[in-house]
Amino acid sequence: MNKDLLKIGTILLVGVFVIYVIINTFNLKSVIREGLENATPPVSSGTNGEAGSAANYADTIKATTVQLQDSLLISKYRADYENVIINMDDYLSISMLKVVLNMDPAADEKTHATSLALLNTLSNAKKALNETMAFVDKQ
C-alpha cells in the first residue's frame, strides 16, 4: 500500500512538473513572440536594401529632432544659450592664446606638432560654436 501511494505521489509530482514546464514554455514563447512583433525593424531592412527604408529612417530622424527641440526649449532659453556659446567662445580663445604662449621654440617637432594639433582642435571648436550660434539664432 505504501509503495502504491509512493508511486502515485511520484507520478502526480512528475505530472505537475511537466505541466509547469509546458505552461512556462508557452508563456515564454508568447512573450518572445509579442516582443518580436512589437520590435522595430532595423533601418536597412527594407525590401530594396538600404534605400527601401530611407523614408522610415528620415521619419525617425525627424521625430528624434523634434524631441530634442522640445527638450531644449530654444525659444524660451535662447538668451541663456547664446550667453553659453559666447562664454565658450571666449574660453576657447583664451585657451588658444595659452597654447600659443606656452609653445617652446626650442622644443622638438613632436612637441610642436602636439601644440599645433591642439590649437587646430580649439579653432575647429570655435567654428562649430559659430555654426551653433547661427542655428540658435535661426530658431
Report the chain's mean pLDDT, rounded to a whole number. Answer: 80
* Cell numbers standing for residue 124: 575647429
- C-alpha 98/C-alpha 53 separation (Å) is 49
Is residue 46 exposed (0-12), middle (13-18) or buried (19+ Cβ within 10 Å)? middle
pLDDT tens-digit readout, 52-102: 788 888 999 999 988 988 888 988 999 999 999 999 999 999 999 999 999
The predicted model scores a pTM of: 0.57
Q: Does the pLDDT value for residue 9 go beyond 90?
A: no
* Cell numbers standing for residue 89: 567662445
Q: What amino acid occupies position 84?
A: V
Rounded (5°) CA angle 54-56-57: 60
pLDDT of residue 37: 56
Q: Does the pLDDT value for residue 16 go beyond 80?
A: no
pLDDT of residue 70: 87
DSSP E strands: which ranges in the chain? none
pLDDT of residue 42: 54
- C-alpha 46/C-alpha 68 separation (Å) is 27
Distances (CA, A) of 28 to 16, 35, 89: 18, 10, 56
- C-alpha 123/C-alpha 19 separation (Å) is 69
Place of cell 583664451: 94
